[in-house]
Structures are given as C-alpha cells and as structure tokens.
Structure 1
C-alpha cells in the first residue's frame, strides 16, 4: 500500500502536502509547530487535520506491519497462495486481516482439533464433496478404538466439528455475516432485575436497530450492563443467517448434504455468531467512544479558550456546610493576597459575621469579582453572595465557576508544591478564583478527564481519551501563547517541544537568573537543546524584553524577515514597540505579498502571519471572544415559570442537547430538538461551551430538579 497516496485520497488533499507532513512528523516536529510554522510545506493544514493525519498514519503503518507478520507466519507454515497474498495485500482493516489469518492462527484445543488428531479430516473432506454414497459405510473406515473413535456416529460427529470450524474460519463468510448483522440486527436490552430501581429503567425493555442506535445510548447500555442492571444482546433472524450459510455450502440433498447443513447451523450458533456479536458490540462501543471523545474534545477546547477576566482582583469562594466556606483573594496576576474561612451556611448560619469579614476583604483589596464553586452548598452560597453585593458600595459581580477537578488539583503534589502553606480546601478556593481569571492557565494543572465537560468519559478507552484531550490542551496553549516569565511549570509543560523536566528547569533558571529578557536565553536552560528551542520558541512570549518580536508569535527563524518587512514598508522595530504600524498591511499589499515574500525569502503564509503578529504584539486570541457573563443577583427554581425568557451560559454539550446555566444553581437542558428550527445532527453545529444564549423556560420539575429549556423563540 502506498500510505501517502491513501492519506491524500482520504483527506482530499494534495500528495505533496501529505508527503511533507509525514516527513515533518518523522523528523520529530510537534503538531503545533508544523501547523504554525510550516504552512508552506503542509499547504496551511490546521492542527486538528494534522493530528487526524498523524493518527491515521500510525494506524496504516500498524496495518502494514501486521500484514508483514501474517505473511511471514503463513509462509512459515508453507501455506501461502497467490490468491491469499492478494487478499492480505488488499485488506483495509485489522478486522479483515484477522479474518484472513484465522485459519492459520495457532489454535487452542477445540472440538475440531481433537477430531483432526483422531484422523477424521479426510472424512470431513469426503462429506464436503456431498456425493451420493453409503455415509455410514465410509465412516466405518475411521473407527479406531486406540484413537478414541468407537463407532461410525462418532466419526461423523467429529467430521462435522471439523466442517463447522472450517466454515467459521472462512473470511468471506464472516464478512458477509458481519454486514448482515449491521444491516438487520437489533440491540436488545432487558432488566437483570425488573424490580430494581436505577437510572437505566428506560432500557429495561428496549431495542433499536444496530445501524441506527445513537452513541450515547450505546455508552449508557454498556455502563448499565457493567453495573449489572441490564442484560444486553444483539438479535438477528437466525434462520435467515443460517439459511444464507447453507446456501453457500450445501450442494446436495443427501446424507452428506444434511451433515453439511447441520455443520452450518452448529458453526453459526457455536462459533461464528458469538464472536461476531462481540465484534459488533465492540465496533458500536468504539464508534460511540470516538464520537464522545470528539464531543468532549470540542467542549474542552471551548472551555479552555474562555476569555480570561483580566486584571481583576478576584475572591475565590469554595462553598461548604459544616467546615465553612473557604475564601482566597488573588490579585490580577493570580498572586494570593489573603485567605480566610466564613460560616454563612448550615449548621452555623453566621451570615452577619461572614458579611462583615468579606466586606472588609473586598474593601481592603478592591475586589471586582467573586468566583463561586458550583459544588456542595453552592446554591446557598450564591444567594448569600448576591445579598452581600446589594449591600456593597463598590461595583462587584460574581460568577458560578465549575469546580470539576478542583479537589483533584488541591490534593495533588503540584498544589502542595505551589501552596505548601495552605491546606487542601484553601488551595481549592485559590484554584476557583484563578479559573475565572485565566481558565486555560489554571485548568492545564488538572487531568482533562476530571474537568467534566463530556459524557461517559470514565467509560472510554483511557489511552485514546488521554491522547485526544492532551492534544486539545496542547493546541489551546500553543494557540494562545505562554508568558515565559510568569507561566507555571504545568503550563510550560504543554508548550510544543517542552516536557515536564524541561519546564521545571525553565522555572529553576528563572528563579536563579531572574526574568528572561530574550528567547535565545532558553538555550542556556538545562536539557533544552536546539530542536526543543526550534519547537517551543515561537509559542513563548516575553513582555518588555529586548525585542518586541519576543512578545509576538513570530518565530526567531523569521526575525530577519520581520525586520526586512518593516524596512520595506518604511517602519522600524521602534515603530512596532510604539504600536505605530497602522498602515503596515496596506503598504505590504501595495508592494504585493508575493513580491515581498520573494524579496524576504519566506513563504506567503508565513509573511501574512508576520504582518498579523506585528500589528498586535502580545495579543491573546481569547480577547476577541465575547466575555463571560457575570451576575449580581440570583433566582431559585421555584421562581421559574413556563415561557420566561432568560440569558444563560452553555456549560456542557452532549449528543442529545446542551446544558445551560441560567443562574438557578441547576443547569437546564435544551434538547437537540429545541436548539433551532432546522434539522441538526449534533448540538455542536449550533452551540458550544461558554456561549451566552437566550433561552425560554418550557417546564420545571421541582421534585426531580429538572429544567427544560428551548432556544426557539415562542411564537
């Protein structure tokens, strides 16, 4: 297989783009670096497509390697034929290869292998010919007490076992039956105990076609079975499947034909269908997982790219009951200014004391925003904060922040190193405050799986989920860029080309030598070689360094081109520092991008990127997004009425809808059918995490704490 050619076809891109991409990957370049700084080679493929190409490249290389292993194994048995070699070469999936190799794979002891040891294979071949004969008379020839064949009936039964196994090993048979199950099968679920109450009750009597069942249902059913609430099977018209088998193999209406027909039925029920049912369920689960991982990845990307609430002194409020609410005040850079504990919730209910203490902190440090964790006691805490804000002279607003993973971070070794003077709960309050100030910088400290913006994330294959989510984090960090002089070790470790060890060395170098003044100093950091420098330098920013270029996404390899561009357009680096480049783009267009690119010996995409970066040194792409919605008051579920119009923030997007925070502690669900007037396959086509949307209340179930919303304006 020409892998590059196949990739070009699958991704509908030029062969040269694939060849260059594969070469860059094989040379050890990171995906963010290739996407940002090798656009000429890849034809400006974005990082998401590059990751998919990389993933598919590894699969196809694994497929080719497996083909070589199978060919060698079959040749070692001296059973290779031209037809078989051609079939192996043409196999497109590992499942197809597995089917082709099945007859040659070393088998554990089976009924057929026992029959072969008894010398019954020639009898099975004789029966397969299905000639008119005295079958019992032929079988008598194989009666051998020493081999354990006591009579003709046992000989025929052993021969039938061999035929059944041979049929089950036929790659074409398996391929056809697999397609038949996908086309006609149904996933059927029943209650393990019909009296047991569980969240899986809708699946106690349930069936849906294999080719139509939604991924989120597959994942729910898998979990229900694992938790022993459900019994799951894939049901088909068995008579039709066996009939199709018999049509392939039974060629005569005689005693031999009857044995072959019986072998077909036995092969299907005992050997073929159990494994195909497992395969089908595995495929359904893998497809559902892949879809769920895509949704999780899209949600995570949006969460990480939420606009930061910059330069705001923030009070982090970690709600609790008995142990009190932990408070941390952090300045605009995330530095902790003060901490305390207040007791406005049960059983203490010290609302006056809590108000007094928080008012003092707010006035002392000029707090602008309050970030409230959404865990236990969040509703009471939010109500308390809303009342407090009304009594303040200063303008203060609040936002309920997801604290998913905050406890994981607080109890981690990293948090202990960062805040050795605080206990676990106070670290959590700091994390909640920082999540509002800069979601990306804070959330990179937490395992992405713990952030909680997916569905059934704990059921996915850990390796695939981790790879996908780590890719999203890496992509976001490198898109935004990282301040080399203030970034934490976990944030630095997500920069292309930098691992945790090098990130630690950067922090140590910073502590020992003071702030970095230019990017070249990175080469003095222990274990950060030239290759790592090439990969990471463009994503690291230095505010107030020796050169304004160090505070842009311009790569050091293009500094000469950037300076040349400024000169060609009548500017200098000083003009860039002072922000006096308003005519840069117009002047460059006047000269001509192609002409300038040739003069400066860079590609046109790189030149366009340089112009963009020079116009906005130190820019944060998140600043261009709508800011998060801050609140000053609170409602309760009982205040909601059908038809009420509200503004809300999308907190999570799943296959069947979106959960929206409308400020009543309990997120409301907008079902996929209520998102817009047109048909959509997935909610992500219209909404994403962090979107501020207008919704209308459809229904409120106070007992079940469920809110149904619509984004379709009532007529």
Structure 2
C-alpha cells in the first residue's frame, strides 16, 4: 500500500489508476497491450508513462526487499533497535539504506578492525567520552601488549576505530553528501598536457557538480578511461571538517584534540574518497539516463519515419575499389535484380555505370534511389544527381544512414533471408528497404548500431537494451504488423511474441500458406491464449475474410464493433467498402456514453474502435511529413554564409542537432542557434526526421564542418 501511495504522488495519478496498472503488470500483461487495450483501467495512460511507472514500481519493490534484508541482518547480530528499524523503514533510497547498514556490514580487514582485534575498543570509548580530567597517554599505557608496543601505538589504533565510527555515521554522510553536491566541482586535468587528443578542452577544466551537462560528464569519464585525464571532485575542506567536528568534538582537552585528529583522518582517508566515488557514480548514472533518453527519442523518431510506399526503389551501397552494389526492389521490398557498377575511383567507369542504371530504371520503372551515406557516398550522390538530369522520367533520390547495415548484412538472419547474395549486395537491399519502410528494416538491427545516440557504447548495456527495446516494441505495436508478410525479427517485437514464437509463426505460414484470420494464430506452436490476447490486436491481415482482422480492433471487441455498426445502421461489409464516412457523426448523435453502455465497453475503447473502422489498416506514419527527396547535389564549396536551405534532422544530441542539407557532411545547429528563445534541450525544438529550414553560418572546408542556424537572419524573406 505504501508503494502504491508513493506512485500516486510521484506520478500525480488517481488511486484506481495506479492500483489497476500494478495489477495489470503483475498479471503479466505487456506495456503496449495495457496502453492500447486497457485504457478504461489505466485512465488512458500512454506507453511512456506506463514504462516509467513499471520501472519505478520495480525499484520501490527492490527497495522494500533490501530494507527487509538489512533489518534481518542487523537483527541477526542482536543490534537492531526500534529507532534503527524506524529509520530504515523511512529511508527513500538504496543509498540511505546502505548508509544505515554501513556500521553493521561485515567489513574486510581495516585499520579499525585490526585495532579492535588488539583490544583497543575500550580506549577508543574512553577518548570519545572526552573527559578533560583523564590523562589519555597514561590510560593508553594500560593497553600495551606484545601487539601494541607503546602508548602511542595504542592511541593510534583507538583513533582508527573512532575514524571508522565517524565515517559510518549515516546522518553525517547524508549531510556531507549534500554539501559536496552543492559546493563541489567536477574537475579534469591532463595526464600529459602535451598529448594530442579529442579531450584538449578538458585538460584544465572545472564545473559545478549541480550544473555540469551530462554529455560533458560522459566525455571526461571516457577521457579518464583512455588515460588522457585525471578526474575528481574538488570541494573546500574547511566547511566539511567544521561540520564533522561540531558533531563529535565536545570539549577542549587532550581527548577532544585526539577526536578532532580522528575526524580529520576520517574525512580525508575514508569519507571524502567514498563520497567522491558516490557522486561521480551519481553524475555518470544521471548522464547515462539522459543519454539513453535522448537515444530513445531519436530512435523512436527514426523508426517512425514515414515510409516511401509502393515505389520501385534502387538501393545503392557506395564504395571505391570494390564498386557500388546495386539492388532494385519492388514496392513490397522484393528483390528484382542486383548488379555492381564502378562510377567512383579508381575505376571511374561512369558512362558504363550510367548505361546499367538507366536500363534498370527503365526496365523496372524505378522512381526513387536510396543511397547509403558511407564511404564514397559524396561521389555516388554526385553521380546519381548527374544521372537523374539525363533521364526523361522523374526520379528522385535520398541519402539514408547505413549505420548497422554491415552488421545486418553479415548476420545469420541476413544469410537466411538472402542465401544467394554476398554481404555487400545484402547491404544494398537493406539500404533500399530503409527508405521504403524504415521500421520493418531497422528492427533487424541492434538498436545500438543504428547511430542516433551519443556515447552509446559507454552506456550500461542492460539499461540501454531495455530502454531501446521498449522503444522498438512501442513503435512496432503502434504501427501494427502484417501477419502474412512480416519478417521474424519484426514479429518478435510484437507484444506477447518472443523470438521462438515468431519463428514458429513464420514456419506455420510457410507450411500452411497465408493466415486467413487472427484465430488461426492459436494453431501456432507455443502461442497460447495469454500470448494471443497480448498480440492479436497488433497483427493485421489485409484482404482477410473478416475486415476487422485488418484493423487495430482487438478480437475481444469484435462483438462490440459489430454492435456499433448495427446501432449506426451499417454492415460489416460497409467497412471493407469504405462506406462508413459518417460513422463518427452518427455515433455522436446517439451519444458515446449511451453507446458504450449498450455495447458494454468504455468510451476510450469505443473511440478507438470508431477510428479503426474509419481507416482499416491505417498507418499512423502516413500522417507525418514525407521524407525530403532530392534530385540535385550540393558540395561543401558551394555553401556560403547566409544561404537558406531545407534539411532533414539526422541526429539530436545534448548540445544541438545534426542536419542533412544535401552535402556529404551533416551541418550542426548548436543549441544556441535552434530558436530565438532559451532552449533547455534540443529535443524541445527538433526531432530526428524533422524537415527544417536552416541558414548557413560558417563553413570550415579543411575540417569539413558546417555551422547552421534555425534563427531567421535579419533581412531574409
């Protein structure tokens, strides 16, 4: 109940929303299914909120479990008090629980534990008491043994015990941690100031802990790992020592002086190094979270790019010595023909390459060319632009990111899909299909290899995989999947379907022919009733016997959908014939509340059914702006400051956005150039795939860098 209450407060949700959502998650329902088909129970929470709530629920449950473990461990030592149990119960984070457990945690051999083994704990207690009448040295002489040769050794051991006790004080650590967060600075210094590296801007660098941007944290972390930087937390020592002494030094005698000495040792040797590691871990963790969030948003936008549908597409994988690999695919992605041309150095067989491509374009009625953006891309783009000018029929082209194409081409999956093609020809097919349907093609590739993130190889693998996997799953289920044409990797991303079940679906399809209806899924091995419930609504059957199988209406709502049509004086056949254009108006005349009561469904589900019936098989990507196709090419030397251009946002990072303006190199719009107002993060203004108007700020031909702005210059029309 406590966890549920915290979730209500943190997410600003009603009690029943959280209660129902927790129950749905615990029952094993997938996030896409809950978001799409259980809106009445969740109050129409979307995928993102549901995922965040699910992650927070897991953390809080883990926290409660840890609290129980710590209480049991301390109780097992016979040291649990009511006050300590209460403090553990009220802890809000794992760090707080660990701080409270620290004094009772079994430690490896420390200076304090060695001193305790020598019997010096009573002397430590005597010193901590700070009675100014006591002669500490005289008392210490009573502890001289074979292992403790003199009074000074005894006092030193006692101070080690006190220092560890100071370090283990949970309340003190909490205050010092907060102090270091408020006042500390993350600093970086060069290991070798003369060494050349990409980290030169961090060779003498310092920034407040509370203000440093995540991408700079990740940069100095990497610089440290690669041996170029020494990184640490700088904080003034005086305030921390005053805070510690105010807690532990209670007098002015000899013993008090020794306690102060122990406090100083505790801070420099134990507390500061420990908290420094904690704060750096915290900064890295937050930077990772931010980077993963940006990566996830970029990936989602990339996957949801509008497909260039029903176009015969020519995929061109550029190269120099080995030639450009060509693949022509039809509107469904089926390969029609492949070849290799050599228009680039060293062969430079430009005219021969033109003849080959002109013949393919004429033979298959190619309307668009998809060019990979890798090696020799600029030369290939110039060649294609020149070719287009010589063709009487309209043909356009687009440069697409080929990130991950080589990974896919060399994979087992690609070998199974194209056993007769070599790796490079598979890349050409993938490049063509990326333009036709980015989602269907990119799901075959590890999201980390798609190249729309920052420092992705430095991220915690499990956390990154979970986040990106959730994005892919959300996109696939938002669009829906054609059950009779979808690849195994695409099917595996559908809610409720894992890799083995996806493989079984494909095998069943190959053995029995196309699925005729959704119910037939129940015949697929290992796809039980639970999996059917989760996946059925996201799988589409175009041209099936029941038009509802081509919509996002879940089979559990078929009866309600048919009832709705009847209430509004329509037949199921009218849906297939698209003769229900005024369904929404007729439903409104009757009243959505009235209809929902008659049909036994909630209003949100009713609204979703109406939307699906009006557009069977609708693809939400079709409503987005179309990709920017080109027919001519620019070169870096053509760019001049002030020039106005249209471009496509290719990547969004913490400090700006990279925009493809038809030159081989993407231009950078720095965060300060995104708008005429303060921009907290570039994602607040632009997303991957956006078509934007930019103006050239500056061009560095030597370093191949282009500075752009989205602020309209004075005097521009």
Alignment TM-score, normalising by the size of structure 2: 0.99
- Give CA deviations for 1:38-81 in whole Å, capped at 9, x if unaligned: 00000000011000000000000000000010001000000000
1:611, CA displacement in angstroms?
0.4
Q: Which residue of 2 aligns with 1:136?
A: 137
1:406, CA displacement in angstroms?
0.4
Distance 1:250 1:439 in 2: 67
1:240, CA displacement in angstroms?
2.2
- Give CA deviations for 1:478-534 in whole Å, capped at 9, x if unaligned: 000000000000000000000011111111111111111110000001110000000
1:358 and 2:347 aligned = no
Distance 2:135 2:263 in 1: 22
- Give CA deviations for 1:95-151 in whole Å, capped at 9, x if unaligned: 111100000000110000000001110110110111111111111111112xx0111
Q: Which residue of 2 aligns with 1:69?
A: 69
1:358, CA displacement in angstroms?
0.8
1:173, CA displacement in angstroms?
1.1
Distance 1:239 1:679 in 2: 37
1:696 and 2:695 aligned = yes
Distance 1:531 1:24 in 2: 13
1:119-158 alignment to 2 at 5 Å? 119-132=119-132, 133-145=134-146, 148-158=147-157
Distance 1:451 1:192 in 2: 34
- Give CA deviations for 1:352-390 in whole Å, capped at 9, x if unaligned: 111111111111111111000000110000000000000
1:211 and 2:202 aligned = no
Q: Which residue of 2 aligns with 1:378?
A: 377
Q: Which moved more, 1:136-145 or 1:530-539?
A: 136-145
Q: Which residue of 2 aligns with 1:259?
A: 258
Distance 2:355 2:229 in 1: 54
Q: Which residue of 1 aligns with 2:685?
A: 686
Where does structure 1 lack aligned partners over 5 or more consecutive residues? none
- Give CA deviations for 1:378-406 in whole Å, capped at 9, x if unaligned: 00000000000001111100000000000
Which of structure 1's runs of 4+ aligned residues deviate more than 4 A? none
Distance 2:239 2:704 in 1: 48
Q: Secondary structure at the match of 1:315?
A: strand
Q: Which residue of 2 aligns with 1:98?
A: 98
Q: Secondary structure at the match of 1:328?
A: strand
Q: Which residue of 1 aligns with 2:476?
A: 477
1:553-564 alignment to 2 at 5 Å? 553-564=552-563
Q: Which residue of 1 aligns with 2:51?
A: 51
- Give CA deviations for 1:239-262 in whole Å, capped at 9, x if unaligned: 221222112111111110111001
Q: Which residue of 2 aligns with 1:440?
A: 439
Q: Which residue of 2 aligns with 1:515?
A: 514
- Give CA deviations for 1:319-349 in whole Å, capped at 9, x if unaligned: 0011111100000000000000111111111
Q: Which residue of 2 aligns with 1:535?
A: 534
Q: Which residue of 1 aligns with 2:117?
A: 117
Q: Secondary structure at the match of 1:317?
A: strand
Q: Which residue of 2 aligns with 1:461?
A: 460
- Give CA deviations for 1:617-675 in whole Å, capped at 9, x if unaligned: 01000000000000000010110000000000000001110000000110000011110
1:18, CA displacement in angstroms?
0.6
Distance 2:10 2:57 in 1: 11
- Alignment length, in residue pairs? 713
Distance 1:711 1:511 in 2: 51
Distance 1:673 1:172 in 2: 42
Distance 1:418 1:156 in 2: 75
Q: Which residue of 2 aligns with 1:606?
A: 605
1:679, CA displacement in angstroms?
0.9
Q: Secondary structure at the match of 2:108?
A: coil
Alignment TM-score, normalising by the size of structure 1: 0.99
Q: Secondary structure at the match of 1:576?
A: helix
Distance 1:252 1:28 in 2: 61
Distance 2:190 2:379 in 1: 39
1:676 and 2:675 aligned = yes
Distance 1:670 1:454 in 2: 16
Q: Secondary structure at the match of 1:630?
A: coil
1:642 and 2:636 aligned = no
Q: Which residue of 2 aligns with 1:287?
A: 286
Distance 2:698 2:566 in 1: 64
1:540-689 alignment to 2 at 5 Å? 540-689=539-688
RMSD: 0.6
Q: Which moved more, 1:108-117 or 1:243-252?
A: 243-252
Distance 1:66 1:466 in 2: 25
Q: Which residue of 2 aligns with 1:488?
A: 487
Distance 2:372 2:226 in 1: 31
